[in-house]
A and B are shown apart, each in its own frame.
Chain A
Amino acid sequence: MADLKLPELGENITQGTVTKVLVKAGDSIKKGQNILELETDKAVLEVPSSSDGVIGEILIKSGAVVKVGQPIFTLAGSNAPASAPAAQAKSEAKAETKPAAEPAKPAAAAVPGGISEMKLPALGENIEKGTVTKVLVKVGDTLTKGQNILEIETDKAVLEVPSTSEGVIKEILIKAGTVIKVGQPIFKIEGGATSTVIANPKGEAIPERTTTSVEIASSPKTAPRNDTTVSTSMSIRKDIPAVPSVRLLARELGIDIGQVPGTGKAGRISIEDVKAYCKTLNTSRPAGGGISVASQPLPNFAKWGSVRREPMNNVRKKTAEHLSNAWTSIPHVTQFDKVDITELEKLRKSISGTNKKISVTPFIIKVVAAALKKFPQFNSSIDMATQEIVLKDYINIGVAVDTDRGLLVPVLKNVDKMSILQISDELTAMAERARLRKTTIEEMQGGCFTISNLGGIGGTCFTPIVNWPEVAILGVSRGSLEPIYTDGHFIPRLMLPLSLSYDHRMIDGADGARFIRWVCEAIQQPFLLDLNK
């Protein structure tokens, strides 16, 4: 008797759920014969036997989750030499059991969403898609270069999109509510260069994990392959029931249309099929490489009471994506400290007039700007791809702003060249714009360091998440009067708790402590700060 183990099913497959057992005890099986149907996260596969023999006992049943290498049957009377049945069993299942939690490798590395793929002429860095809120032109309009043609809500701002070409609009390929991606055709224009702006492969239209199982031919080798690159050498197969526009979309997304299962009549492949396929490729990417937050199936919440579902807005989606990426890719350390702001408060109150209130934040910004000069490793980014550190010669500080749409982080540029009063004015204006949804994408880019002040709400300490690709963030909580033991007495001092989170890959613990101490000491001596410089 030997165990027949679940053979390796493909590079990215470590386990699956048995949907059907195709044989029964006592059956004589041949190598290559299908013995199981297994649903993996990518497809329903038929599993062929890796050896000949008679099935003794079936160790699994329909519904069971089995891992590669796990025994599934006992096998008797195999035609291997009787003296070495164990050896045979070994050869049957050379695959080791991989940890089930190991995330599958990306099934298609070049699937869009990969930022490197995007050609983004007008919308700005890191913007890959947006929801059309308004189409400002109509069919027949003559476009001039630079004319605004669309309003798009991207992750953090509503943008007006200027035309990149001239000509007459023949067809409008998108409409309000459509999620469009950079590179996607938006209009057909006659007599002009076509602008380049593609359907969002991540499929905003698919809020939950798609349950479509991708039925693919019996051999596991035909499961989504790794070679669906964007290269131009994609196979051209005749006789694929997809309309030209869908074939084009697949090509633009770097997907081999021949691999996309069609759900329509006669296997017709729709745009939705291409997106769903793209989604199956995306969900198998490593954690942090996209919206992988909902990768575990959710329980049925309705069991415990009524629930409502609402679509995530773009700010929420982007926040989820951005922060899970930051959280999973950055090893965080948070250093806490307290700074005595008694003197600072006196100064602050003395210069705050009745109609001009200056908060503590501009002072902290100014001090942090100076600290970034002193500790340049805090004003850097890590480029793991090239194994380099990017050191910045400019000092831009982002300030987290709470808005009704969610968290926005507008960036104050070149704060080291601004006076505290200028910073204060700029900060007030910026926060106001953020609340009115007027913050532009440019205003939210280029930050070197972020400050998040929750002191207005309260709390003693918190652990902020580093705003990647920055390497550190300073959290400010609420100041309170504390008895400080000085010269033999307890003196009431106003103490402000600070939390510095940093990327431990870039910043050593001692430097973290030094940085926050330096900041505290600078704030404690506000007379050293020049209000007008």
Chain B
Amino acid sequence: MSSPIQLVVIGAGPGGYAAAFLAADLGMEVAIVEKETNPGGVCLYRGCIPSKALLHAAKIISEARHAEAFGIEFNSPKIDVTKLRDWKKSVVAKLTGGLGQLAKARKIKYFQGEASFINSNTLKIKKTDGTTEELSFQKAILATGSRPAVIPNLPKSPDIWDSTGALDLENIPENLLVVGGGYIGMELGTAYHEFGSKVSVVEMTPGLLPGADRDLADVLYKRVKGMFAKIMLETKVIKMETSKNGITVTFADKEGKEFKEEYNKVLVSIGRKPNSENLGLENTKVKVTSRGFVEINDQRQTADPSIFAIGDIAGDPMLAHKASHEGRVAVEAIAGHKVAFEPQAIPAVVFTDPEIAWCGLSELDAAKAGREVTVVKFPWAASGRALTLDRTEGFTKLIIDPKTERVLGVGIVGVGAGEMIAEGVVAIEMGAVAADLKLSIHPHPTLSETIMEAAESFFGHSTHIYKPKK
């Protein structure tokens, strides 16, 4: 066996490939072990990217319909599912292919297959071509990601989808039940709604998007309430059975009353689980928590000094951009730089229509920590730009420390919130105070002005809102 490679990255999702690419750029000799032909991971193959392609298509349908309100009428759309699916696939192929090229250009050794640890410095790679190979390494980065969580004891049926199945867009069911009102369920649910499905949602907790501030989630709730066939909150799924037209689902509401409903398809989106099994971690010093996450320090190093872990396997939030950042931290730490994973704000975006985005401290966090905060909101009804879009249901809020006036958190709901939240992240990372946002000129007419005006209202005045003096 040749001398150990400097770095092997296991899993080439947005965390893994970012890590591998940076390491190569820093002059390390790098290998990737990945199941797919090209880097990309869940995000590019079965997550962020294909879902955004479908959501874009859905948005066009929705906006075309909406245009009736101001006098532009279209015929109802004809959807060529095959073409739509192929287009989505082509987007994925283009992106992942490009990453493959980038890996090649950086002279990264690419092993297509699955890796497991023989010990703290050796991997066994079961390659897709059937052969096995041992690879000794100096450092490894675990970036194996996560997979959809499943409900135990479900019948085996092609009519029960996880997010991957829903993204495959094999057809557009007449009736679709979404189990789990989190962001994956809401994104795919709204997309299928626009494609023509009657969508119902069942969620165990009292609200959609558990984890997000209620006022943000409520705006989405109001909109989907009018779109979806049924939204069942505080309701559990007791049983699923295959039936004539698909799946018959038995529910129990909060009083425990049971009822049944039949759907053509059921999308189970109840969360994701880290892929920490079958990696031979027992042959290393790596420690895994009861929830399956790998324990890491600030440099993303595991209990085994030669092994680092990033992304979904390293803990919540399971977000691509968090993974990439961790990947870069891990590689720089390996390169001997003095770095740590210390973000002040990790943005979260739900790409529904309207979008919901937040970063930094949320009101929920503040309440949990018992921290005193001042929350200022700017309703989009007072935004000229929102009016021109005929979408005024959104709002922008800032969570501010009343003593220092520092911006601690930002929450936005409305069209384009996902793009706007970046300003919030920068503001928080830069330690901005409310006056900084107020005094920075924002372009008119844009939705970004709502951030500036929210900051103005912290000082008791805002150009487009009149508050009578107390």
Binding site for B on A (CB under 8 A): 165, 167, 191-194, 230, 232-234, 236, 238-244, 247-248, 251-252, 254, 264-269
Decide if B298 touches A232 in the complex (CB within 8 Å): yes
Question: Cβ of B401 < 8 Å from any Cβ of A?
Answer: yes
Whether B333 lies near A232 (C-beta < 8 A) is yes
Chain B residue numbers with a CB within 8 Å of A233 are 297-298
> How long is the Cα–Cα vector from A167 to B299 in the complex, in angstroms?
26
Segment from B165-173, B191-199, B225-233, B402-410 that makes contact with A? B402-410
Interface size bucket, B side? 20 to 34
**Residues 313-356 (chain B) with a chain A CB within 8 angstroms:** 333, 337-342, 344
A-B contact pairs, 11 of them (CB 8 A): A191-B25, A193-B26, A232-B298, A234-B340, A236-B298, A236-B342, A239-B344, A241-B406, A243-B430, A265-B405, A266-B431
Question: Which residue of the partner chain, among B338, B339, B433, contacts A266 with CB atoms under 8 Å?
Answer: B433
Least CB distance from B264 to A in Å reads 46
- Min CB distance, A231 to chain B, in Å? 9
Residue of B nearest to A254 (CB): B338
Contacts of B26 in A (CB 8 A): 193-194
CB pair B404–A241 under 8 Å, yes or no, is yes
Shortest Cβ distance from B407 into A: residue: A266
Contact call A268/B344, Cβ cutoff below 8 A: no
Residue of A nearest to B431 (CB): A241
Decide if the interface of chain A is mainly helix, strand, loop or mixed. loop
Residues of B within 8 A of A252 (CB): 337-338
Who on chain A is nearest to B26 by CB?
A193
Could you tell me the distance between the alpha carbons of A239 and B430 in the complex, rounded to whole angstroms?
Answer: 11
Which of these, A165, A193, A232, A244, contacts B338 with CB under 8 Å?
A232
CB distance A266 to B405 under 8 Å? yes
Q: Tell me whether B158 is interfacial, beta carbon within 8 Å.
A: no
Q: Is the interface of B mostly helix, strand, loop or mixed?
A: loop
- A residues less than 8 Å from B155 (CB atoms): none
Contacting A at CB under 8 A, from B386-424, are 401, 404-406, 408
Choose among A233, A252, A266 the residue with the greatest number of B CB atoms under 10 Å from its CB.
A266
Question: Is B27 part of the binding interface, using a Cβ–Cβ cutoff of 8 Å?
Answer: yes
- Asked if A251 and B431 make an inter-chain contact with CB atoms under 8 angstroms apart, the answer reads no
| 144-164 of chain B: CB within 8 A of chain A | none
Complex Cα distance, B105 from A192, in Å, reads: 12
Residues of B within 8 A of A (CB): 25-27, 297-299, 333, 337-342, 344, 401, 404-406, 408, 429-431, 433, 435
Which 3 residue pairs of A and B lie closest in terms of their CB atoms, listed nearest first?
A241-B431, A266-B404, A193-B27
Pair B429/A251 contact, Cβ less than 8 Å: no
With A232-B340, A242-B431, A248-B339 already in contact, the answer to whether A267 and B404 are too (CB < 8 A) is yes
A104 to B405, CA, bound (A): 38
Q: A138 to B340: give the CA distance in the assembly, Å.
A: 30
Contact, CB under 8 Å: B401 / A266: yes
Contacts of B408 in A (CB 8 A): 239
Closest residue of chain A to B342 (Cβ to Cβ) is A236
Chain B residue numbers with a CB within 8 Å of A193 are 25-27
Q: Which A residues touch B341, using CB under 8 A?
A: 236
Q: Are B344 and A232 neighbours in the complex by a CB distance under 8 Å?
A: no
Tally inter-chain residue pairs, CB-CB below 8 A.
60
Query: Residues of B contacting A269 with CB < 8 Å?
Result: 431
Return the chain A residue nearest B341 by Cβ.
A236
Instruction: Name which residue of chain B comes closest to A266, CB basis.
Output: B404
CB distance from B424 to the nearest CB of A (A): 15
Name the residue on B nearest A164 (C-beta): B27
Residues of B within 8 A of A244 (CB): 429
Contacts beyond the supplied A165-B27, A247-B342: 17 A-B pairs with Cβ under 8 Å: A192-B25, A232-B299, A232-B333, A232-B340, A233-B297, A234-B298, A236-B298, A236-B341, A238-B344, A241-B406, A241-B431, A243-B429, A251-B338, A251-B339, A254-B338, A266-B431, A268-B431
Least Cβ–Cβ distance between B289 and chain A, in angstroms? 19
Q: Which of B27, B299, B404, B431 contacts A243 (CB 8 A)?
A: B431
In the complex, A242→B344 CA distance in Å?
A: 10
Shortest Cβ distance from A269 into B: residue: B431
**Alpha-carbon gap, A239 to B405, bound state (A):** 13
Nearest CB in chain A: distance from B366 CB, A: 11
Distance of A7 Cα from B140 Cα, bound (Å): 52
Considering the chains assembled together, what is the distance between the CA atoms of A234 and B337 in angstroms?
14
CA distance A45 to B297 in the complex (A): 34
> How many Å from the CB of B23 to the closest CB on chain A?
10
Kindly state the separation between the CA atoms of A254 and B338 in the bound complex, as whole angstroms: 8
* A268→B405 CA distance, assembly (Å): 11
Least Cβ distance of A218 to chain B in Å?
A: 18
CB-defined contacts of B401 to chain A, threshold 8 Å: 266
Q: How far is the CA of A241 from the CA of B27 in the complex (A)?
A: 34
- A266, B340: Cβ atoms closer than 8 Å: no
A232 to B308, CA, bound (A): 14
A254 contact set on B, CB distance < 8 A: 338
A234 to B298, CA, bound (A): 9
Please indicate the chain B residues that have their CB under 8 angstroms from the CB of A239 in the complex.
Answer: 344, 408
**Within the assembled complex, what's the spacing in Å between the Cα atoms of A143 and B406?**
41
Chain A residues positioned under 8 Å from B430 (CB to CB): 243
Complex-state Cα separation, A240 to B333, whole angstroms: 22
Roughly how many angstroms separate A165 CA and B404 CA in the complex, as a whole number? Answer: 43
Bound complex: CA of A92 vs CA of B420, how far in Å? 60
Shortest C-beta distance, B393 to chain A (Å), equals 32
A70 to chain B, nearest CB (A): 38
B105 to chain A, nearest CB (A): 9
CB-CB under 8 A from A241, the residues of chain B are: 404, 406, 431
Taken together as a complex, chains A and B put the C-alpha atoms of A204 and B429 apart, in Å, by: 28
| Interchain CA distance A191-B105 in the complex, whole Å | 10
Tell me, in angstroms, the Cα distance from A252 to B341 when the chains sit together.
14
Q: How far is the CB of B110 from chain A (nearest CB, A)?
A: 19
Closest to A262 in B: B431
B residues in contact with A266, CB < 8 Å: 401, 404-406, 431, 433
Check if B433 sits within 8 Å of A230, measured CB to CB.
no
Taking the nearest CB of chain A, how far is it from the CB of B159, in angstroms? 45
A251 contacts which of B340, B405, B406, B433 (Cβ < 8 Å)? B340
Write the nearest CB–CB distance from A194 to chain B, whole angstroms.
7
Report Cα–Cα, A264/B339, bound state, in Å: 24
Complex: A429 Cα to B337 Cα, angstroms: 42
A254 to B337, CA, bound (A): 11
| Residues of B close to A234: CB separation below 8 A | 298, 340
B405 partner residues in chain A, CB cutoff 8 A: 265-266
Give the CA-CA distance A472 to B414 in the complex, in Å.
Answer: 77
Is A265's CB under 8 angstroms from B344's CB? no
Contacts of B333 in A (CB 8 A): 232
Q: Whole-angstrom distance from the CB of B372 to the nearest CB of chain A?
A: 13
Closest residue of A by beta carbon distance from B405 = A266
Residue in A closest to B298 when the chains form the complex, CB atoms: A236
Alpha-carbon separation in the docked complex, A165 to B25 (Å): 9
Write the nearest CB–CB distance from B321 to chain A, whole angstroms: 15
Q: Whole-angstrom distance between the alpha carbons of A242 and B299 in the complex?
A: 19
In the bound assembly, the distance between CA atoms of A191 and B338 in angstroms comes to: 21
Kindly state the separation between the CA atoms of A193 and B337 in the bound complex, as whole angstroms. 13
**B413 → A minimal CB distance (Å):** 24
Q: In the complex, what distance in Å separates the CA atom of A244 from the CA atom of B426?
A: 10
Write out the residue numbers on chain A whose beta carbons fall within 8 Å of the beta carbon of B299: 232
A194 neighbours in B (Cβ, 8 Å): 25-26
The chain A residue sitting closest to B340, CB to CB, is: A236
Contacts of A236 in B (CB 8 A): 298, 340-342
Query: Smallest distance from the beta carbon of B154 to chain A beta carbons, Å?
Result: 40
When the two chains form the complex, which single residue of B297, B404, B406, B431 contacts A232, counting CB atoms closer than 8 Å? B297
Measured in the bound complex, the distance between the Cα atoms of B341 and A234 in whole Å is 11
Nearest A-chain residue to B404, judged by Cβ: A266
By a CB distance below 8 angstroms, the chain A residues around B342 are 236, 238, 247
Taken together as a complex, chains A and B put the C-alpha atoms of A244 and B405 apart, in Å, by 19
Residues of B within 8 A of A247 (CB): 342
Please, which residues of chain A bring their CB within 8 A of the CB of B344?
238-240
Distance of A356 Cα from B405 Cα, bound (Å): 76
CB distance from A169 to the nearest CB of B (A): 14
Nearest CB to that of B299 among chain A residues?
Answer: A232
**In the complex, chain B residues whose CB is within 8 Å of the CB of A242:** 431
State in angstroms the CA–CA spacing of A238 and B409 once bound together.
13
A215 vs chain B, min Cβ distance (A):
16
